Amino acid sequence: MQFVVISYDIPDHKRRLKVAKLLLDFGAQRVQRSVFELVVTPQHLEGLRARLDKLHKPEEDSIRFYFLCASCRPKVVYLGLAQPIDEPGLLII
């Protein structure tokens, strides 16, 4: 399993909603408006990337994936209302 932070900047409202829904469908948890955290298998991550490739417009949109190693994840600092995301149970997509 891989811990991934996904952020995006998508100007089109309709496309932005589709991307957010897709991330939620893959089990990502929204941590800020355009930032999601996800614990995912490599196979599911490839499926997610393939679906995002079909949704986004490369000339207008920016989507970033940040991968945190297992030893880095405990070093994340949370301030204010921020909380660690829950580990997923069984994920069916």
The mean per-residue pLDDT over the stretch 10-37 comes to 96
Structure-token pair, residue 26? 């893959």
The count of other CB atoms within 10 Å of the CB of residue 27 is 19
Query: What pLDDT is stored for residue 80 in this prediction?
Result: 87
pTM for the full predicted model = 0.85
**At 81, is the pLDDT very low, low, confident or very high (cuts 50, 70, 90)?**
confident
CATH 3.30.70.240 fits 2-75, yes or no: yes
The count of other CB atoms within 10 Å of the CB of residue 77 is 5
